[in-house]
A and B are shown apart, each in its own frame.
Chain A
Amino acid sequence: MTKLLSIMFVMIFTENYVLVQFLGICPFMGVSKKFDSSIGMSGAVIFVMTLASAATWLIYHYVMMPLHLEYLSTIIFILVIAALVQFVEIFLKRYAQGLYRALGVYLPLITTNCIVLAATLLNIDEGYTFLQSCVNGFSAGVGFALALILFCGVRKALENAKPPKSFEGLPITLVAAALTSLTFMGFTGMAERLFGG
């Protein structure tokens, strides 16, 4: 239990995928303009990452290990994620219209998003159990959501700012992202104190 809590805390705060590990920067910058789309994207990422972590763990341990195909993990995982996203899209469209309207727009964009593939590969590298992988995928998604929604607020404030002419647009947004990520450095070392390493 402590291990699961520690994974959650680490993935959301100290090792946040976006603000500490530089994963998923494109959606972080692209979608954070509007609050509604940040919420939708976050939901889709949490959903797909949890599912993908579960699916790839099962495939790795029950298909790839017996067949000694570990060296193909990159190529198999990306295909699993692509198929999974397609499947989820079809499933939601048929059985959960409300959820599809909320998340459907963002689902195709997730296939080629490095954050999902990274989560599944890191699960295997870390040697997590099935439950730990699922929790890891879920909390990494929550960490992404937290960063995205926080940064959305920062960008709202940034709209009224008047930076030097050459900094207008993306450059000043990147500098703002640097400051947001600076705040997350405050969590460094907290996990060790809380969960005893």
Chain B
Amino acid sequence: MKRKMQILLNGIFRENPVLILVLGCCSALAISVTVLGSLGMGAAMTFVLVCSNMVIAALRKVIPDKIRIPCYIIVIATFVTLVEMIVKAYMQTLYDALGIFLPLIVVNCIVLGRAEMFASKNSVSDSLFDGLGMGIGYTLVLTCMALVRELFGAGSLLGHQIIPEEYTVRILAQTPGGFFMFGCLMALLVWGLARHGKKFKPEMGCGENGCSGCAMADKCPGNEQKEATGV
């Protein structure tokens, strides 16, 4: 049980998918405009992560190594379609708020990355807790960003007007605000860790530790070159 707790907390803090692993930023930046949307997206993401992690872990000995990425994508796409239908049927406002980013969970690097990094190597129950932890970690960061962006960008919280509209910084709720908030949050994390004597250098995409989170790492020619030259 202690190990399960550790896996869960690992996803929330030590390997937070958005802030530490810097994965799946597209949806994180786009959805974190409203708190309600962030919670909804977080719930959808957690569901997909938990289900796909469990199924992939259960099938990890059956799936041939060479075509594992397409197999993972099919499993993930199945659960995403399921979530899409449920949200469309019962939560129309949430469906409109999430828009294109709901089906795009399929290609979200977090889900595919966890399948590749964790579920393909661990037991079903461990993978369940990993998916849960990652999902909660994702939701947490999204909600934090949304709190600031909704409060100061639109002056409201969960739809209740708190700051009069004339005094809001509207740019925070728009695209530049998303990039800016994410940059500031990351800088805050680096600063906080540095105060505790821990070094942390966030990288994204094809960066130094970006490859560890990329499901395509073994296919990436840039990665092969890196290994060949020993850099």
Partner-B contacts on A (CB < 8 A) = 19-27, 29-31, 71-75, 78-79, 82, 104-105, 108-109, 111-114, 117-118, 121-122, 125, 164-175, 177-179, 181-182, 184-185
Contacts and interface: CB of A to CB of B under 8 A. Distances in A.
A174 B216 contact: no
A25 B80 CA distance: 21
A99 to B, nearest CB: 15
Instruction: Give the one of A29, A118, A167, A170 with max B CB within 10 A.
Output: A170
Given A22-B30, A26-B204, A82 B70 contact: yes
Instruction: Please report whether the interface of chain A is mostly helix, strand, loop or mixed according to DSSP.
Output: helix
Interface of B: 22, 25-27, 29-30, 70, 73-74, 77-78, 80-81, 84-85, 100, 103-104, 106-109, 112, 171, 174-180, 182-184, 186-188, 190-191, 194, 201-207, 210, 215-216, 219-222
A122 B100 contact: yes
Nearest to A118: B100
Nearest to B179: A178
Given A22-B29, A75-B77, A178-B183, A105 B176 contact: no
Nearest to A28: B205
B47 to A, nearest CB: 15
Contacts of A171: 183-184, 186-187, 190, 202
Given A82-B70, A171-B190, A178-B183, A26 B25 contact: yes
A179 B190 CA distance: 21
